[in-house]
């Protein structure tokens, strides 16, 4: 039986219902029987998937979209105060609920696993969701990306486990009380909300402090920020701390990662001392580490490690995480969500390992003015790992422009690092530009968190001519 729907969530209205985080919560509520409605700026496959579940999805934002009998209005931190539906809710006295509070309410009465970290959250959450489902445990899950089809970012399952991606960007992960928490890494990002690493550490300490007594923290042993966090929470004795990684002092130690084309074979020593080897069906050492974190979290819930390792092998990727979009003219086009320098370097190194002697071409779209201002030089340096790059204008998302901050900051840094870079402000020109650069055997990455992902099909079409 599904957990009871909170009264405020009986007839919710979501502003920006098509977003990755919002749509997942809306989907679960619809599956539990709530009368879900909402609005989004444009139609999408995700909106269609929600409609198929009985949700009402309006296009555009207008006060009249808010039904008179709405019990709450759900918002994310990206919704601006002047949104007409948000203004109407305040005028009518309809409660406004943040996305994180809505998600937290869905976990009540269940056994939550919350996956946190600056990078790798979506992949690790997806690995857990897929493997637990493969074991027949029928988990509920909420992920920041689609597994294999629009709307597959969330599911209401009949089992007792709920796997959730825990977002640190706006401190919303402070709302969750997991039985098991994973911290993959800790770095400075989201510069509009965090001014220093100390603020980041304090935020993650608060998240760890929310782990239920008797629960488990699974945390990276190799990452400097994660090790610092482990030291900072060493005084908490009511939870178990399990470290993982290649470091000699890791509790779950990675002994070997063998690349095998677009897959990897991973060998680990478990806390029991047993050695286990299993396959990760996506390339890259960082994805192997994500899989080991998922394995350690499942073991913390008393799942048999050999069964879980076998189930992890059924994970074949999530949209936008080194997702193969197709091949044309002997050129493969792959989509990458990487937008932070660490992520960019990791994905490029993974593709380098799989590409062997093939050239790697990148179409990169910077994400956020604030991130570019703080990390633009490092982004440019990461692009030096590619054979050639096309750099687009900054995707603003929720931000207003910052005077003087443009893609030129990245381009100059990339060229200083010896990279071959072509600036391009017109996205419509990119398919032709790439077709002129690419030759059979090359790999093309569309990289970034914005709408650069839409270029993949157009590039394939142009290559196919």
| Residues acting as catalytic residues | 121-122, 165
Q: What is the C-alpha to C-alpha distance for residues 355 and 363, in angstroms, rounded to an integer?
A: 17
Torsion of CA 401, 407, 412, 413, to 10 degrees: 90
Closest CA to 335 of 350, 317, 345, 322: 322
* CA distance linking residue 241 with residue 217, whole number of Å: 5
Between CA 186 and CA 273 the distance in angstroms is 28
CA distance 52 to 226: 41
* CA separation for the pair 325, 444 (Å, rounded): 10
Instruction: For residues 12 and 96, give the distance between their C-alpha atoms in angstroms, rounded to a whole number.
Output: 10
* DSSP output for 280-318: ESS-SHHHHHHHHHHHHHHHHTT--HHHHHHHHTT----
Helix, strand, or coil here: 58?
A: strand
| Encoded tokens for 359 | 């050239």
The single residue listed with the structure tokens 């555009």 is: 60
**CA distances in angstroms from 70 to 9, 103, 165, 297, listed in the order given:** 9, 18, 27, 38
Separation of alpha carbons 252 and 273, rounded Å: 9
DSSP string for residues in 324-346: EEEEETTEEEEEE---SHHHHHH
Q: How far is Cα 12 from Cα 26, in angstroms, rounded to an integer?
A: 8
């Amino acid at each position: 039986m599904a957990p009871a729907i909170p009264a405020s969530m009986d007839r919710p209205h979501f502003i920006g219902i098509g977003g990755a985080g919002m749509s997942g919560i809306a989907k679960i509520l619809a599956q539990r029987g709530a009368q879900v409605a909402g609005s989004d700026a444009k139609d999408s496959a995700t909106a269609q998937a929600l409609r198929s579940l009985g949700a009402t999805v309006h296009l555009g934002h207008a006060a009249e979209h808010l039904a008179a009998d709405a019990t709450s209005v759900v918002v994310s931190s990206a919704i601006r105060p002047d949104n007409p539906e948000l203004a109407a809710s305040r005028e009518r006295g309809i409660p406004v609920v943040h996305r994180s509070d809505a998600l937290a309410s869905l976990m009540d009465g269940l056994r939550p696993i919350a996956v946190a970290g600056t990078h790798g959250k979506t992949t690790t959450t997806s690995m857990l969701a897929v493997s637990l489902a493969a074991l027949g445990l029928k988990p509920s899950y909420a992920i920041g990306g689609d597994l294999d089809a629009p709307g597959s970012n969330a599911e209401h399952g009949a089992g007792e486990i709920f796997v959730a991606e825990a977002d640190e960007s706006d401190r919303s992960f402070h709302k969750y009380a997991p039985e098991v928490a994973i911290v993959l890494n800790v770095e400075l990002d989201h510069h509009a909300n965090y001014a220093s690493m100390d603020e980041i550490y304090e935020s993650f300490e608060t998240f760890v402090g929310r782990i239920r007594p008797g629960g488990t923290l699974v945390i990276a042993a190799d990452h400097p920020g994660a090790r610092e966090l482990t030291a900072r929470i060493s005084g908490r004795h009511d939870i178990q701390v399990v470290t993982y990684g290649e470091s000699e002092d890791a509790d779950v130690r990675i002994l070997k990662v063998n690349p095998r084309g677009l897959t990897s074979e991973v060998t680990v020593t478990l806390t029991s001392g047993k050695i286990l080897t299993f396959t990760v069906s996506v390339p890259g050492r960082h994805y192997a580490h994500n899989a080991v974190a998922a394995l350690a979290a499942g073991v913390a819930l008393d799942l048999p490690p050999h069964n879980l390792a076998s189930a992890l092998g059924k994970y074949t990727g999530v949209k936008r995480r080194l997702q193969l979009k197709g091949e044309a003219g002997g050129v493969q086009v792959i989509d990458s969500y990487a937008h932070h320098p660490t992520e960019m370097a990791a994905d490029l190194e993974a593709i380098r390992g799989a590409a062997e002697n093939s050239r790697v071409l990148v179409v990169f779209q910077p994400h956020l003015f604030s991130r570019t201002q703080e990390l633009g030089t490092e982004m440019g340096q990461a692009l030096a790992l590619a054979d050639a790059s096309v750099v687009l204008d900054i995707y603003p998302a929720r931000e207003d422009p910052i005077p003087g901050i443009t893609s030129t900051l990245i381009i100059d840094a990339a060229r200083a690092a010896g990279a071959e870079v072509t600036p391009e402000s017109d996205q419509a020109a990119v398919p032709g530009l790439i077709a002129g650069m690419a030759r059979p055997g090359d790999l093309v990455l569309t990289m970034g968190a914005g709408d650069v992902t839409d270029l993949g099909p157009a590039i394939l079409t142009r290559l196919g001519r």
